Amino acid sequence: MAIITKIYNQLQHQFQQGSGFGPANRLIQNVEQNSAGEITVVFNGLLLLLEEVGGRIIVKIPGGVRSVNNDLPADLGELCDHFITLVKAEAGNVPVDEMLV
């Protein structure tokens, strides 16, 4: 099984179980995988994208989440940290990179 599919299956499980992420315990509102294997994860107020490129997992995060000068809820950065920890656990030895978009 491809690593990206393993990650998708875990995210789908989290979605179905209603498991929350970050200090505000935000729930996944939707998770989808397209035919190219890319995963879209929707939280209230946040959209994350994952793809497998050259043997690496890339997690695309809105740049504003990592900025200190924004009007976004403070918990989104911690939510992203929690999310990336889950992705890294599922990815095992496959490198996981964060890309601000």
What is the CB neighbour count within 10 angstroms for residue 85?
12
Using 50, 70 and 90 to split pLDDT, how confident is the model at 15? Answer: very high
Q: Any idea where the domains of the chain sit in the sequence?
A: 3-100
Dist CA 22 CA 35 (whole Å): 29
pLDDT attached to residue 1: 63
Each residue of 52-99: pLDDT tens digit? 999 999 999 998 887 777 777 778 888 999 999 999 999 999 999 999
Each residue of 33-52: pLDDT tens digit? 999 999 999 998 899 999 99
Average pLDDT over residues 9-38: 94
